[in-house]
Amino acid sequence: MLQKTHLLTFVILCGLNSALLAQTLGIGGTIPVEISVVNRQDFAKNSLPKSPLISIPMYRDLHWMIEPEFGVIHFRGNLDLTEFGPGKSVNSLYVFNCYLRYNLGDSTLRHGPGIRIGISYFERKRLRDNESTEIFEIERDRILGVTYFGEYFLGSAFSIGGEAQLSYTILGFRPIDEPAEDVRLTQLSMRFTLRWYFLE
């Protein structure tokens, strides 16, 4: 619970600090798509479902853009634990990213390089017969990436965009009461985003 509280506090502080500096403020929805994994050690979490993310795009001026992004997803899965036998699990995934981008284009077609800093928290709970749950597996990931984005404005308020990114992730995976097992993962991925700017 403490880790999720830290994550929520980080999201709020980053968003408030960025909003105070923004001249253009909006809201967006993003769909991430994994293209390939450049390097991956064997790891059980490689098939987590992808969830649409909510973002808050903020332009400081025509060139500098900050975009906090977050998502929460809950889902059920199957378990095959030696000590318990087959069963069900209840899973939760909390994601936060912050992007810093520099626009090399004009006000209509914007594009340029950027960086991504992200953290996520994954929690797996064993579901008992009486529907009660018990946490037995957690994961805390740290993400650093480089990106190149494009954003086309359909008018003064709406835009569509895409972004390619190469990210390096340290997956901090561990069952409860056991030491963390850090696994490194390098990914090439794309993001597709719709944005609405309500403050200009």
Which CATH number does the domain housing residue 18 bear? 2.40.160
Question: What's the domain count of the chain?
Answer: 1
pLDDT per position as a tens digit, 11-69: 666 655 555 566 788 999 998 887 766 555 444 444 455 678 999 999 988 899 999 99
Cα distance between residue 26 and residue 18, in whole Å: 12
Residue 15 phi/psi, 5-degree rounding, is -65, -45
What amino acid is encoded at 83 in this protein? E
Q: What angle do CA 155, 51, 77 make, to 5 degrees?
A: 165
Cα distance between residue 26 and residue 15, in whole Å: 12
pLDDT tens sequence for the chain (200 residues):
545 555 566 666 665 555 556 678 899 999 888 776 655 544 444 445 567 899 999 998 889 999 999 888 877 776 655 455 556 777 888 888 999 999 999 999 999 999 999 988 888 777 666 565 666 677 788 899 999 999 999 988 999 999 999 999 887 765 555 555 667 888 888 999 999 998 76
Global pTM reads 0.77
Count Cβ neighbours within 10 Å for each residue of 68-105 and write b for 16 or more, e otherwise: bbbbebeeeeeeeeeeeeeeebbbbbbbbbbbebebee
3-state secondary structure of 132: coil
Per-residue confidence (pLDDT) for residue 156, from 0 to 100:
85
125, 87 contact by CB (below 8 A): no
Alpha carbons within 13 angstroms on the beta-carbon side of residue 180 total 11
196, 158 contact by CB (below 8 A): yes
End-to-end CA distance of the chain: 38
Which structure tokens are listed for 69?
């992004």
What's the domain range around 141? 2-199
Count Cβ neighbours within 10 Å for each residue of 11-23 and write b for 16 or more, e otherwise: beebbeebeeebe
Question: Which position has the token pair 């946490």?
Answer: 135
Per-residue confidence (pLDDT) for residue 42, from 0 to 100:
44
